[in-house]
Structure 1
Amino acid sequence: MPPNPRDEVEIGRTTPAKGVVLSSEMPLILFCTICADQRGSWVARREVMELLHDIWSNEATAWLVGPYVLMPDHLHFLCVPKDLRQGIDIEKWTAFWKQRFSRRIGQPEWRWQRGIFHHRLRNDAQLQEKLEYMQENPVVKNLADKSNSWPWRGEVHDLHMAMNSFHQPSPSKQR
């Protein structure tokens, strides 16, 4: 008997999962990607980088942005919560800084897509993989000859303590 096409289940999802599960078993470090609306090619610019850096440093401080890279139509960054007790979810924080950005940039056509794609880094191998991905993305996309020649990258906050926590035993395992 041939399979019924209606019985097939599509695996995966079409939109990112919402929220981040808190766990004392591992640090909370997110790799995030945010795209320009309509995949516009306005993101990799000095004024965008300077404004994002200012907003992430002085206004949108519930999550701390570490290394980031701006590509023509999207950006990637690593972030950690400033204080887990505040309970500011990543989606609300992202909506907040996007709104600040839109108000301050003075370019109505420069809008971000709704939402955010984020992935929780679960170990040092994933962390290193994402750092390398961000470093090499401009080279892979033929935007730069060498990764260190791409000018649209930076770091707002030093996340080394959070990143090093992958090497520390969790409190529950120390007992």
Structure 2
Amino acid sequence: MPVFTNAGSLRIGRFSEPGGIYLITAVVHQRQPLFADWRLGRLVVRELRELEAEGWADFLTWVLMPDHMHYLLQLRDRTLADVVCRIKSRSSLAVNQTLGRRGRLWQKGYHDRAVRKEEDVKDLARYVVRNPVRAGLVERVHDYPLWDACWL
């Protein structure tokens, strides 16, 4: 049965379901380019790895840009809202502790897109990881330190 979430998470009319694949975009508060420092980005990556190890979701691909993040995930037994909330809250704690600060790390909410069964997930993953190239940060994806894909 679909799980409906509150207005602060999935867009109106959306639901999350186990096994569903979703493309998520989360933006840093005031678009601060905090993750230009890849060491801060690794703190977010650690949270993704923990969630995967704990069985919340499978992260098919992700890229952490200086001021936002994209990730393609397949839910296991948690709702999309639970997964995104956990990533944002735990990474906020880790980054703030490292920087010796308090306050918001991420903007409220996030953009979600359910991936339809007929879509090619690998093509979508390629699009996600090519973000640093399209943004002019690097010439080749492999030169960027904050991305991964399960097919590698």
Bigger Rg, which one: 1
Q: CA deviation at 1:150?
A: 1.5
Alignment match, 2:15: 20
For the residue of structure 2 that corresponds to 1:123, the secondary structure is: coil
User: Does structure 1 residue 79 correspond to structure 2 residue 73?
Assistant: yes
- In the alignment, the residues of structure 2 paired with residue 154 and residue 90 of structure 1 have an alpha-carbon distance, to the nearest angstrom, of 20
| 1:97 aligns with one of 87, 92, 106 | 87
Percent sequence identity is 20
* Residue pair 1:36, 1:43 contacting (<8 A) in 2 also: no
User: Does structure 1 residue 55 correspond to structure 2 residue 50?
Assistant: no
For the residue of structure 2 that corresponds to 1:113, the secondary structure is: coil
Partner amino acid, structure 1, of 2:25: T
Quote the RMSD (CA, aligned, Å).
2.8
User: Does structure 1 residue 131 correspond to structure 2 residue 129?
Assistant: no
- Unaligned 5+ segments in structure 1 are 1-14, 161-175
What TM-score do the two structures reach when normalised by structure 1? Answer: 0.65
- In the alignment, the residues of structure 2 paired with residue 90 and residue 159 of structure 1 have an alpha-carbon distance, to the nearest angstrom, of 22
Q: CA deviation at 1:71?
A: 0.9
For the residue of structure 2 that corresponds to 1:77, the secondary structure is: strand
What TM-score do the two structures reach when normalised by structure 2? Answer: 0.74
- In the alignment, the residues of structure 2 paired with residue 20 and residue 48 of structure 1 have an alpha-carbon distance, to the nearest angstrom, of 31
User: Does structure 1 residue 147 correspond to structure 2 residue 137?
Assistant: no
- In the alignment, the residues of structure 2 paired with residue 58 and residue 100 of structure 1 have an alpha-carbon distance, to the nearest angstrom, of 10
| 2:114 aligns with one of 94, 98, 120 | 120
Q: CA deviation at 1:122?
A: 0.9
* Residue pair 1:34, 1:112 contacting (<8 A) in 2 also: yes
How has the CA–CA distance of structure 1 residues 89 and 22 changed in structure 2, closer, same or farther, with 3 Å as cutoff?
A: closer
User: Does structure 1 residue 40 correspond to structure 2 residue 32?
Assistant: yes
Alignment match, 2:4: none
Aligned residue pairs, count = 137
